[in-house]
Amino acid sequence: MGRQPSLDQTGHCSKRGLWLREEKGPLEKRDSALKAVRDIRRKTRRKFSAEEKIRIVLEGLRGEESIASLCRREGIAANLYYRWSKEFLEAGKKRLLGDTQREASSSEVSELRKENARLKELVAETVLENRLLKKA
């Protein structure tokens, strides 16, 4: 959508020579209501823990009830179940192949960064000493 034309205080648009109202029309009111509903849904969206996701996927893999009824009972969309199932199976496959990388905690990362900085300083000092010895 383009920019709204600028109006003077009387509601006249000098660019187009039109008289326009600044009131919100029914479409703009509906759009703002839809935006409010979307914002509320976004803020109240359920977040499932890893344990909950695993439990739901394993229940679906058991096959005791249909995926549709499982999803209805848990209050999730079927495509979300299938996405979790795919991620679950791919993670298991990677684990069995030994392609896993351990996640580093923030304390480990900060310690490694400190050690890296210390080692860089040692290398810089060694390079300077070598240059001084070569010149001497």
pLDDT along the chain (136 residues), means of 10: 53 51 62 83 81 95 94 93 95 79 77 94 94 86
Residue 44 contacts residue 54 (beta carbons within 8 Å): no
d(CA 121, CA 129): 12
Instruction: State whether residue 29 is helix, strand or coil.
Output: helix
pLDDT the model gives residue 34: 84
d(CA 114, CA 100): 25
The confidence score (pLDDT) of residue 22 equals 47
- The strand pairing partners of 13, in sequence order, are 18
User: Whole-angstrom Cα distance, residue 45 to residue 21?
Assistant: 38
pLDDT at residue 86 in the model: 95
Where are the domains positioned within the chain? 12-97
